[in-house]
Chains A and B, each alone.
Chain A
C-alpha cells in the first residue's frame, strides 16, 4: 500500500508497479536528487539519503556509459538477497530516475518487465510543467525559521 500523497498522475502508475512487480521499496526522483514519490520508506530523511545516492549512481554510471559506449547505461542492477534496479524514465517534465529494491519474492525479469510498463504509463500520465502562481511562504517567515534553527542547534 502506498501511503504517500503524491501528484495523482504519479500515484497510479507507481501503485501498479509495486503491486505487479512485488518490490519492497520504490523511489521516483529528479536527477538533482529531489524525491518525487516513494513507497516503503518510513522516514523522510532516509528517503532523502536514498535519493542523493541514487542520483549519484545514476549520474556516474550514465557518464561511464557515455565514455565506454557513447551513450548512457539504460539500467543498473546489483545485489543478492536484496537487489536494486535503477533506471531512467522520460516524461513531459523531463527525465526522472527510478530506484527499486526487491528480494526473492520478485525477480530482475519481473522488475524489468513491469518497469517498462511503469515508464510508459508515467510518460502518458505526466502533465506539462506548471509554473507556480503564488508565494509559498508568508512574508514574515523569518521568526519561525530562526526559532526552528535555534531549537535544532540547542540554542532555544
Chain B
C-alpha cells in the first residue's frame, strides 16, 4: 500500500477516486470514467470460495491485480473475508475494476457475512457438490436470501450465479449438476460446474457474474 512509485494499470498515475452514482452499489465516476463493482463469493464452509480467489489470483498478471488479502485463522479458514482487487481493463470507455470478496462459510460467522455482503453488486454462490453437503448448501442459500432481505435487497433482483464446485471428486461422492440444480437453483440463474482447485469453471463463473453485473449498468438500473 502507499507510495510505490508505480502507475496504475490504466496508465493514470492516480486512477482512483470515486463515485457518485451508487448504481446497484457500483461506483461510477463519470469524470475519470471508472467503474468499481463489488462481487461476493458466498456459500457453505469449505465449499471452495477462497480457492476460487486463489486460482484467479494465480492466473492474473501482476499489473492487473492487487494483493490478495486474507483474514484467516491459523488453519487457513476464512475468519472475516478474503479480498482480491482486479482490473478488468476498458469496457465501453470505462476503466472497470472488480473487488472480489469471500465470506466465512461457517454458520457461526453470520454477523460477518452480513457485513461483507453489504453493498454487493453481484453474488457468486459456491455450492459444494458432495452429496453429504447438500443440506449445508441449501441452508447457506437460504441464509444468503435472508441476509439480502435484511439489507433491503430483493434477492430476485441482484445479479447471482451458482457454481457447483468439486466436480472433480469421484462420481460416487458427488451430485450431478442436474441434481444440484434441482435442489438449489430454483431461480434458474446461470450455473456452472467447477473444479476451483485446478481451474475448470472458475473463469466461466467470473465471466457469468461479470456479465450480469455489467448488464445492470448497460440497462441503467439503479437500486
Contact = CB atoms under 8 A, between A and B. Distances in A.
Q: How large is the interface on A (under 10, 10 to 19, 20 to 34, 35 or more residues)?
A: 35 or more
Given A46-B2, A149-B206, A137 B94 contact: yes
Contacts of A133: 220
A132 to B, nearest CB: 4
Interface stretch (B10-18, B156-164, B188-196): B10-18
Contacts, number: 214
A17 to B, nearest CB: 16
A41 B14 contact: yes
Contacts of A130: 20-21
B59 A5 contact: no
Interface residues of B, number: 73
Contacts of B118: 31-32
A153 B17 contact: no
A42 B214 contact: no
Nearest to A147: B89
Interface in A108-156: 129-139, 141-142, 144-146, 148-149, 151-155
B83 to A, nearest CB: 4
24 contacts: A3-B13, A24-B3, A32-B25, A32-B118, A33-B119, A34-B25, A36-B19, A38-B17, A41-B1, A42-B5, A43-B9, A44-B97, A45-B8, A46-B4, A48-B16, A49-B1, A52-B69, A56-B115, A136-B35, A136-B218, A137-B218, A144-B92, A148-B96, A151-B89
A145 B214 contact: yes
B61 to A, nearest CB: 8
B99 A48 contact: yes
A47 interface: yes
A16 interface: no
A49 B71 contact: no
A50 interface: yes
A137 B215 CA distance: 8
A141 B218 contact: yes
Given A7-B20, A30-B22, A33-B119, 7 more contacts: A7-B31, A35-B17, A44-B9, A48-B83, A52-B85, A130-B21, A152-B59
A130 B22 CA distance: 9
Contacts of B60: 152-153
B210 interface: yes
B119 A30 contact: yes
B190 to A, nearest CB: 13
B22 A129 contact: yes
B94 A33 contact: no
A-B pairs, 9 with minimum CB distance? A32-B119, A45-B66, A135-B220, A48-B85, A4-B17, A137-B218, A148-B89, A3-B14, A45-B85
Interface of A: 3-7, 10, 24-25, 28, 30-38, 40-50, 52-53, 56, 59-60, 63, 101, 129-139, 141-142, 144-146, 148-149, 151-155
Contacts of B36: 34-35, 48
Given A135-B218, A135-B219, A34 B27 contact: yes
B18 A10 contact: yes
A127 to B, nearest CB: 9
A43 B6 contact: yes
A52 B101 contact: yes
A34 B92 contact: no
A25 B203 CA distance: 35
